[in-house]
Structure 1
Amino acid sequence: MSWQPEINELHKREEWARKMGGEERVTKHKAQGKLTVRERIEQLLDPETFHETGALAGKATYQNGELVDFRPSNFLLGTGLINGRKVVVGADDFTVRGGAADGSIRGKQEYAERMAHDLQLPIVRLVDGTGGGGSVKSLDDMGYTYVPVNPGWDLVVANLGRVPVVAACLGSVAGLGAARVAASHFSVMVEGTSQLFVAGPQIVKYGIGQDLSKEELGGVQVHRSSGAVDNVAKTEAEAFQQIRQFLSYLPSNVWQLPPVAPSADDPDRKEEPLLSAIPRNRRVPYKIRQILPMIFDKESIFEMGRYYGGGTVVALARLNGHPVGVIAPDPYVGGGCLTVESCDKLERFVDLCQTFHLPIVNLVDQPGIAIGLEAEKKGTIRRGVRAVAAVYQASVPMIEIIIRRVFGVGGAGMINGHGLHLRYAWPSGEWGSLPVEGGIQVAYRREFEASDDPQVLYEELLSRLEAVRSPFRTAEQFGIEEIIDPRDTRPLLCEWIKDAYQLLPQQVGPSPHPMRP
């Protein structure tokens, strides 16, 4: 006698699980322009590689000992491949109780985190629901309340220092669901169908009197520049593509090195436009995003958090196929100075590179930490010092290319200058404790007060100091190691990255300063 009846029972339960919340709820879900949880997993992973764990977990209804109905858990988990590498996927099913915890089996979320932790695999969270304690009505059903606990949060925090953690906000995500999005190395939300908030519109309305729609409270127009998520996608398919690209730069865990890919881009490529990329007029900005592709491998630049702390650009890229972290300025946003937001962004990115052993290329045009009353009210100096501390604590190979300004504490903190200070400067470089133009007024205050023509005196002093601030004067004192033709930047970096990757085996393992969200 075989076990075929039990196998038939198994297949019946699996079939019910694949129906998710039922035809009516699935239809309503898709009418909102959203994919079902199983369609999402199919699009994210390499074809036919998903292996589900816990499909039979859910709420069963029996009559006379026979199963008559089955509502699956609203959380799916399993493993699959992304670009041929294994990952763990944990995904909410909004068609079952709106993704809330009272429609889930709590152990499944924790198991996904444990699987990533113990197997040392990246984890991708597809978040579409609250993930918290459900509605107040559930308390009436239970007959008691409870002291809240974030399920599996010890693993959530530990994973940030062990494996790549990625999260996609794919619906109206609140409370613990929002926290699961934020507790990641990279997060993305989708225009029109994603909203993220600590508490939803109804709670906000009755709690603090703000009457807002979901979009007004937590839509893309709020979080594009809030710093709560890294990137925005136009569609779910684009969000999944961003996830796949992000993971392609990182190792599967901190005990491995970043994956080097074949490159068809000439490491000795020299771009003529680099020679005039920085305007001679110091007051004229330039477009950094036109410069980056001339230095790094073609089509390899993956920018994160463009609209948060916009004066600082952070991205992943490749040099001759080798993944690197990139820090660069955007002088069109506040002159590229270090604001509270850009300090937070810089600190988080350096910690990401440190955690996963990514060498850092720092293209520096840094006028310094933001000044003025508003900057002081925000305590910008403390955030600036935190960012500088992250740079100094990083042990991954780092190289500095000075393309324009290096001034003050902010400029000095762009690299740890107390070790082997690997850096090159373009002829457009200028540096000091503060810019000459502003410093003249302070340094020669008494002379200006006594002058019959302060403007003429200003022009005379500026002309005299113009020659002094030449980068060649600094090079004479070995205050800058090398001044280079900007067109040589890529070949020099492609040579440096070979040496950097020779040093990386000494870096493997957990960082003493792993990334925090």
Structure 2
Amino acid sequence: MSHVEKIELFEKKKKHQLGMGGAKKLEARKAAGKLNVRERIEYFFDPGSFQELGLFTHSEWPGTFEQTPTDGKITGTGLVRGRPVLTVANDMTVMGASSANTNMKKIDYAKNISCEKGLPLVFLGESAGSRMPDSMGALGMGHGGQNPAQYRRLREAPWVSVLLGPCYGSSSWYTAMSDISVMQKGAILAVSSPKVTQIATGENTPPEELGGWRVHAEITGLVDAVGDTEEKCMDITKQFLSYLPSNALQLPPKVDVPEGSGKDMHHILELLPEQSSKTYNMKKIIRVIVDGGEFLELKPFYARPCITALARLDGNSIGVIANNPYYGAGALTADCCDKITSFLVLCDSYNIPILMLVDTPGFMIGKDGEHKKVTGKIINWMNALSLVTVPILTVIIGKTYGQAYLNMGAGKYSSVFVAWPTAQISFMGLEPGINVVFNIKKGDDPERYEELLGQMGKDTEPWDGAGIFGLTDIIHPAETREFLIGMLNLHYNRLTGGIGRHLLHNWPTSY
């Protein structure tokens, strides 16, 4: 065969591989309003930057080579807003993007580059699960377990999963292993499909109830963000990546500070009700403090009495952990513990300083919490907090009582621990405290009760805490933004170039 003939064969095979599952399947996807995998890649990466690796792969099973271009999973690298990013993108038009020996080698290849060379990895997920009958019997199963690092995460570089359709098998596993997951409304995340689940258990559960976006955004917390369309989900993913470094040994990118940032700081105290029993939305205070009033919230529909978000101060990425009295008075639940702990791990793993804004009556106690192992989750949170090595700046805005005082960064758990003059600090809230200490309720002796309420209320003000240096200082609310910028600069570790020790790098990604 001449050189010309070989190049002609190359072009012919390349055209076939680029054709995915064929024109009929591609037309069906288009009619259903779904992008095909190559359209997704084209949208996600900067124009002309994607370089595929493994284009000529196919199934290892004889007789299936022609019908399995790329073996249903496309791997490669490109630029996202000018920065290199790896991808594993599933092609549902080829065997339902089912997992098989060839494509699992490709996944391992992409993962190894991510971990060894320090590049973010994005999974564009949509898959039917394990390929049948390839995985049946001792021969099929004998291929498994040959890579003991397959499900190991040490957070060398960020991983993001984007769920864009039915996600069973590997798509679900890598979602649970990722640092961040983004889910399209209408996508499904589950161990197995409803059909397999029904065969195995007898349950006839609709897909949305089994693993729809509401299940994972509101109940399990496995999903960090939700989008209406495929494009929106990929845009959110680009946003997330913009706050993160390319790997654990770099700092997040610094950006220009938007004009007008902090312009409303002199009005910030107006957002906090004078009566601590009144609700308000902490997100409004966050917007006034951070650059451009912009932040990207993680798990906004899950454990709503607390907020976890990525934002910027003076152009630098920060992670915001805040109580939100708008929901449940800001009382911390078992789910809040999981949400905040996982966010501490994310920030510490990728050198993102943490800002805590505190206004909580404490932990939500009772039967429901105990049945959710809240005791263990509180201590998991404390363990993670004690292992954080990036700067933590904590501001008590309103009330903080009991164990929550410690969990929300009290004392030496923070690099800087300050309060507004509006802070209330005590072992428990005033009303239950009066009942416990003096054995009196409001209805017993209203006049005496009000007298004790005033006395104990004065004791909860922050001045005594600052007096013994239990608080680093008390700050004027209007000066909060500039104070925090100064403290970020002070606590930047010049000995390590701002890189943390990553003591949480092997913390479970989901639990």
TM-score (norm 1): 0.91
Within the candidate set 323, 329, 338, 2:317 is matched to 323
Query: C-alpha separation between the residues in 2 aligned to 1:510 and 1:297?
Result: 27
- Is the contact between residue 285 and residue 331 of structure 1 (CA under 8 Å) also seen in structure 2? yes
Q: Which residue of 1 aligns with 2:124?
A: 126
Q: Per-residue deviation at 1:403?
A: 0.6
Inter-partner Cα distance in structure 2 for 1:128 and 1:452: 61
Pick aligned residue for 1:480 from 468, 471, 478: 471
CA apart distance, 1:344: 0.6
- % identity of equivalent residues: 32
User: Aligned partners of 1:39 and 1:224: how far apart in 2?
Assistant: 26
Q: Work out the CA distance in 2 between the residues paired with 1:33 and 1:68.
A: 27
Distance 1:270 1:113, change over 3 A: same
Tell me, what secondary structure is at the counterpart of 1:33? Answer: coil
1:261 matched residue in structure 2 = 255
Q: Once the two structures are superposed, what CA deviation does each residue of 1:335-383 show, in whole Å capped at 9, x if it has no partner?
A: 2222111101111100111111111111111322221122122221110
| Residue equivalent to 2:29 | 29
More off after superposition, 107-116 vs 270-279: 270-279
Aligned amino acid, residue 210 of structure 1? E
Q: Take 2:495 and 2:33, find their aligned partners in 1: how far apart are those partners?
A: 44
Please point out which of 227, 250, 263 is paired with 2:221.
Answer: 227
2: CA distance, partners of 1:245 / 1:304: 12
Alignment of 1:7-46 (within 5 A): 7-46=7-46
Q: Secondary structure of 1:404's partner?
A: strand
For residue 168 of structure 1, what is the aligned residue in structure 2?
A: 162
CA RMSD of the aligned region, Å? 2.6
Contact map agreement 2:287 2:293 (CA 8 A) in 1: yes
Whether 1:109 and 2:115 are equivalent positions in the alignment is no
Residue of 192, 208, 211 corresponding to 2:201: 208
Of the three residues 91, 94, 104, the one matched with 1:93 is 91
Structure 1 partner of 2:395: 401
* Partner Cα distance (2:348, 2:356) in 1: 14
**Cα distance, 1:168 vs. partner?**
0.5
Flag structure 2 segments of 5+ consecutive residues without an equivalent. Answer: none
- Give, in whole Å, the separation in 2 of the partners of 1:128 and 1:103: 18
Instruction: Please say which of residues 242-251 and 453-462 is displaced more in the overlay.
Output: 453-462
- Contact 2:262 2:290 survives alignment (8 Å): no
With over 3 angstroms needed to count, the CA separation of the structure-2 counterparts of 1:220 and 1:319, relative to structure 1, is same
Secondary structure of 1:224's match? helix
Aligned length: 506
Q: 2:391–2:415: 8 Å Cα contact kept in structure 1?
A: no
**Residue in structure 1 matched with residue 451 of structure 2 by the alignment:** 460
Compared with structure 1, are the counterparts of its residues 337 and 268 closer, same or farther at alpha carbon in structure 2 (3 Å cutoff)? closer
Shift of 1:176: 2.7
Contact 1:21 1:72 in 2 (8 A): no
- Name the SS for the 2:127 alignment partner: coil
Q: In 2 relative to 1, CA 504–189 (structure 1 residues): closer, same or farther, beyond 3 Å?
A: farther
Give the TM-score normalised by structure 2: 0.92
**Alpha-carbon spacing, 1:25–1:102, altered in 2? closer, same or farther (3 Å):** farther
Cα deviations by residue, 1:175-205 (Å, 9 ceiling, x for unpaired): 332111121011011012x111112111222
CA contact (8 A) 2:130 2:169 kept: no
Deviation at 1:501, TM superposition (A): 3.4
Alpha-carbon offset, residue 262 of structure 1:
1.6
- Segments of structure 1 that go 5 or more residues without pairing to the other structure are none
Work out whether residues 314 and 325 of structure 1, in 8 Å CA contact, stay in contact via their aligned partners in 2.
yes
Contact 1:75-1:93 at 8 Å conserved across structures: yes
Letter paired with 1:516: P
Corresponding residue for residue 303 of structure 1: 297
Equivalent residue in structure 1 for 2:341, among 347, 355, 359:
347
- Structure 1 pair 133/70, CA: closer, same or farther in 2 (3 Å)? closer
Q: Is the 8 A contact 1:58 1:72 kept in 2?
A: yes
